[in-house]
């Protein structure tokens, strides 16, 4: 990957490629496509700025994996499982995009682009996570995160490792 070379970073063996234009994500291992997913990204234009609610562009890595052994559909608040499935929430609570099933917390690898100061993806709490609105996947709907089908995320969670790279492009 050219971006890794430019940054002096060794490309990871496993890479997730998020494409905003197609609302899709591909999982590559050793350069070969393993699986493709329908996702949803920000309702707003892509942006790396704090407070923009846009999905940040550029090279990231998985910094933390949260939710191991939690049941699919469990809702997280402040990265802690609530022990409740989104189906147990009221219609009003379910209007918002809930963070469900698993969290892959990203950190930017590009200083001045998605790392540091007002553009830091980790400080912005940018995740790949499950959603209670699976029927809306394929269309932009998030507040900056990458949303996935819950069971797809549970499977992906078992495959990826901390340090695996995530390339987010328009």
What total of structural domains would you count in the chain? 1
79-137 per-position pLDDT tens digit: 999 999 999 999 999 999 999 999 999 999 999 999 999 999 999 999 999 999 999 99
139-170 per-position pLDDT tens digit: 999 999 999 999 999 999 999 999 999 999 99
Token pair for residue 40? 């949803």
Instruction: For residue 23, give the CATH number of its domain.
Output: 2.40.440.10
Paired residues of 17 in beta bridges? 26, 167
Contacts of 51 (CB under 8 A, 6+ apart): none
Give yes or no for a contact between 168 and 15, defined as CB atoms under 8 angstroms apart.
Answer: no
Which pLDDT belongs to residue 5? 85
Q: Which domain holds residue 61?
A: 2-169
In angstroms, the CA 14 to CA 49 distance is: 27
Provide the pLDDT confidence category of residue 6 given band limits of 50, 70 and 90. confident
């Amino acid at each position: 990957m050219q971006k890794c070379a430019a940054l002096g970073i060794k490309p990871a063996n496993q890479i997730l490629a998020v494409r905003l234009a197609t609302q899709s994500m591909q999982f590559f291992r050793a350069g070969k496509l393993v699986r493709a997913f329908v996702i949803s990204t920000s309702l707003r234009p892509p942006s790396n700025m704090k407070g923009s609610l846009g999905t940040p562009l550029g090279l990231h890595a998985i910094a933390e994996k949260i939710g191991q052994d939690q049941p699919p559909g469990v809702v997280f608040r402040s990265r802690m499982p609530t022990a409740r499935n989104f189906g147990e929430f009221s219609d009003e609570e379910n209007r918002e995009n809930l963070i469900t099933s698993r969290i892959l917390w990203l950190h930017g690898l590009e200083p001045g682009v998605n790392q540091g100061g007002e553009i830091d993806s980790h400080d912005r709490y940018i995740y790949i996570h499950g959603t209670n609105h699976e029927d809306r996947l394929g269309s932009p709907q998030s507040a900056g995160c990458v949303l996935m089908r819950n069971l797809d995320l549970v499977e992906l969670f078992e495959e990826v490792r901390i340090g695996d790279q995530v390339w987010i492009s328009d």
